[in-house]
Amino acid sequence: MKNYVITFPGQGSQSLGMMDKFKSLNIIKTTFEEASDVIGDDLWSMITLDNDKINQTINTQPIMLAAGFSTWRALKENGADDPSYLAGHSLGEFTALVVSGVISFEDALKIVRKRAELMQEAVPENTGAMAAILGLDDEAVIKICNDLDGENVIEAVNFNSPGQVVVAGNRYIIEMSLEKFKEAGAKRALILPVSVPSHCRLMKPASVEFLSYLGNFNFNSPKIPVIHNADVTSHTSGDNIKHALSMQLYNPVQWTRTIKYLSEKKMSVFVEGGPGRVLIGLNRRIATEANHYSLDGIEIMEKFLTEITT
């Protein structure tokens, strides 16, 4: 089997009916049933019937974990070998850790639910915001953020691909910054439909509580290396992994650097292990010579398995 990487999506990839193309596989619904038992709510009903609920961060986080992990289980049932590396975009990092054997699925569900609660509590509702800046290089975005940052927080927080950066902070300054980015040459600068300003320093108090909460769980050494968002490093110590997850809450997601690092490791195939096509779009712009797959249905999964083994 060729060297390949599985990357797991995070918040923003959820949608109503997002697992419909997999629903004939028993392992998909079984995984969602397991997750629902832990969370105490019917996650499968949410993703098939309730668009409002799936977009509430307290539900989105366990839903996306269940979606990514069930996709991995489906791959394994159909004969896939383990990938050479794993990575996940923000929340998706937890799916990667479950697949790697660092934490159990049940513990991960409890952890991401707590993470969602702490993130939501860290900033009063409607006072934080995030915005996507398209068509400016990283340095230009960082400079504008540095010029505006002060009592009101604005930071570059997701380096998603060349020419795509997300900023986060207080809603007032984020909304005011949009014209600044456009004046500097951004093709688009738009507010994202999220209520929590992730990965900026407004999340630092939440990160302290989160690290303390992680102390309740046993973290194993990974069976497959996981490249972490905050430092683009694969950690083997449970304590170091916990610190990386805590850092992730208030540090930027270094996705461009992550995919470049994996390309330098001679990874020739990148797989998006979950619903949607957000990561395949980003990864293609970074690892331009690699093959890319987004496993959002049985047919694509079968095609991937056929091609990866030949």
Decide if 291 contacts 308 (C-beta within 8 A). Answer: no
Q: How far apart are CA 168 and CA 213, in angstroms?
A: 25
Helical (H) or strand (E) element with 72: helix 57-77
Helices (H), 184-219: 204-214
- The conformational region for residue 275 under phi > 0 = left, psi -120 to 50 = alpha, else beta, is beta
Decide if 145 contacts 186 (C-beta within 8 A). Answer: no
Q: How far apart are CA 271 and CA 64, in angstroms?
A: 16
Q: Which one from 90, 100, 161, 177 is the annotated catalytic residue?
A: 90
Paired residues of 108 in beta bridges: none
- For 56, counting Cβ atoms within 10 Å of its Cβ (0-12 exposed, 13-18 middle, 19+ buried), the class is middle
In the residue annotation, 243 being an active-site residue is answered as no
In the residue annotation, 235 being an active-site residue is answered as no
What SS3 class is residue 49? helix
Q: Which one from 199, 228, 235, 243 is the annotated catalytic residue?
A: 199
Q: How far apart are CA 202 and CA 308, in angstroms?
A: 43
Residues noted as catalytic: 90, 199
